[in-house]
Structure 1
Amino acid sequence: MMTNLFSSFDPTSNIFQLPLNWLSTFIGLFFIPLMFWTLPNRSMMIWLNILNSLHIQFKTLLTSNGKLGSTFIFVSLFTFILFNNFLGLFPYIFTSSSHLTFTLSLALPLWLSFMIYGWLTQTNHMFAHLVPQGTPPILMPFMVCIESISNLIRPGTLAVRLTANMIAGHLLLTLLGNTGPLVMNSIILFQILIIAQVFLLILEMAVSVIQSYVFAVLSTLYSSEVN
């Protein structure tokens, strides 16, 4: 029984003090090897076209200075987050992307690696980013502070954006689901509830795709600033 509304997100299932909920994070990895053992079909071709389109977009965002193979990091990041977001919509599957533990574990190492690489290899370029072009001299100290703060909070904004969007939709689904027993006596209200749940589930499927794409695109943009 839930003690509060957010307790549905608690990773409570465990055996011998091992949290088994987080194993759902790797369920999506079991779908990937199937492509290598089956004949080409429509779903596989659609997925390959999506990956190819993402590769082209990320390559454009990274510009000509990007390292070869950098796009595969962000395509893999998109795929990993997409699987976790989408599988979390199924019943009895723990949504790991609704926790800051998961999202920060993705955003913080990426941002930290960009910063370390940029400050060690292109120090002057990183300093130039702290003062936008055309800034009046009197505002330069303030712009350095503002740009430094905005740079430092990037991993937090990446993580919180994904977590908040996933939690919001799941909370709406949970709230509507809990009202089911209360409207069982009215057929019309029950039908309206089912229709609302279906439309909200479709919306959440779209949100799971959009948020994984936004996370990958913003990570790509942060990487392109270093190059």
Structure 2
Amino acid sequence: MPDGTPGVSGGVLLLSAEDAADDTIVPRLRAAGAEITWIAQVPAVTSIDGNNPPVLPLDTPALTQAISDLGAPVRLVVIDPLVAFLSEGVNSWRDQDVRRALHGLACFAETTGAAVLVIRHLTKSNGTPALYRGGGSIGIIGAARAGLLVARDPEDPTRRVLAATKMNLAPEPPSLSFRLDVHDGQPRIAWGGESPHGADVLVSQPQDEEERHDAQDLRAFLREMLEL
């Protein structure tokens, strides 16, 4: 764990739509010291259209079956990103749709005892509080019991910060800093200490070079308008 205490051992299920297992996921897990035999990707689901990745909430039973097949107590299920695994009829920007889809995941988590971690990308709406910056409906973070955000440290571009956006079941923890070191050619997290930067501060910073230039152009335009 970040503070040096040992973590809880257990199996992990991965649903990943953006990274390949052989050349990205597995090498990074090995670099992190993971027990590979306890980690599994949820297999494709057979339907009338052939074999396809599982979709939620329709294929939630496939997650339960994958836990049984793994043969280890599963502590964590990672869905990366959430929108890639929503059923075709689920509008990720419609509150009612996502709450229905996530209700099935909540029941799954309660039944299996596994924590479910869903990943979203940030929108580009700077100035919006961190709680509302995740892509999709506000119902996604509304259904979650905790929200976490990762962003660059505004004082050091080589450092990242993990900050809480929401904590329903525990006091809000301090933000934590980390860097990405290289181990056997793969990135690996190297935790630092606590960070003074909260989630709202992190998302108020332009996230890339293009956004920084846009912000500079806007400030220059406003200065010109005010001088007229």
TM-score with structure 1 setting the length: 0.26
| Greater relative CO, 1 or 2 (CA 8 Å, sep 6+) | 1
Which structure: larger Rg?
1
Specify which structure has the higher proportion of helix. Answer: 1
TM-score with structure 2 setting the length: 0.26
Specify which structure has the higher proportion of strand. Answer: 2
